[in-house]
Amino acid sequence: MKPIANFLYEVGLLKRVKRSGWWLAGIKDPETVAEHSYRAAIIAHLVATLEHADAERACAIALFHDTHEARVLDLHKVAARYLDTEPAEAAAVREQVLPLPDPVRPAVQSLKEAFASRASAESRIARDADYLECLAQALEYKAQGNPDVDDWIVNCRKRLVTKSAQRLAAQLIRTSPDEWWEKLKQQIVAED
């Protein structure tokens, strides 16, 4: 159990690792990798359900997709341009899962490999969820007055492959991030 305990403490670091690409858009305190992965996992579950795929597997793939960033951090595209990140990330994943006991190690390794391969419907959905979460975050930052996120919105949207993810992206763009709360506030006021 000690390797699992260590792994849990390691992935806990993701609650402090910031998503660095947002700094390029002037976001002073961007979301963390853990915050991103959490919502990406929920999105993956929802999109997989819409696509009639294995929602639990898609959700798990999305949840684990950035665990290596506890070791190599989150590098934005400008920094990654100058570094060979794929071997470093692969080495981090190998070393991260190596101490884990069976059946945990192969299960986690399978999720990481699935995300990288894009070979299954669930892995493509998890990748779409990663982009959709980024798109939603960009829309939230834009609504908060950060105008330099349009590239994220456009680039994430064009990378989506599933029909459900494409439809969801279009709806996210048409929906204010505060709409759910505004309607709820009106309902609460009306009840008083």
Token reading at 75: 């590098």
Identify the bridge partners of residue 50 per DSSP, sorted by sequence position: none
Residue-by-residue DSSP string for 82-106: TS-HHHHHHHHHHHHHTTSPTTHHH
- What's the sign of the alpha-carbon dihedral 116, 17, 100, 80? positive
Whether the predicted pLDDT of 30 surpasses 90: yes
Q: How far is CA 13 from CA 42, 112, 137, in A?
A: 20, 18, 21
Q: Kindly tell me the sign of the dihedral angle through the C-alpha atoms of 53, 174, 42, 137.
A: positive
Structure token digits, residue 18: 């910031």
What domains are there in the chain, each with its CATH number?
Answer: 2-191 (1.10.3210.10)
pTM metric for this prediction:
0.95
pLDDT value at 188 more than 90: no
- Which residues does residue 18 pair with via DSSP β-bridges, in sequence order? 32
Compute the average pLDDT of residues 16-45. Answer: 97
pLDDT, one tens digit per residue, over 36-90 is 999 999 999 999 999 999 999 999 999 999 999 999 999 998 999 999 999 999 9
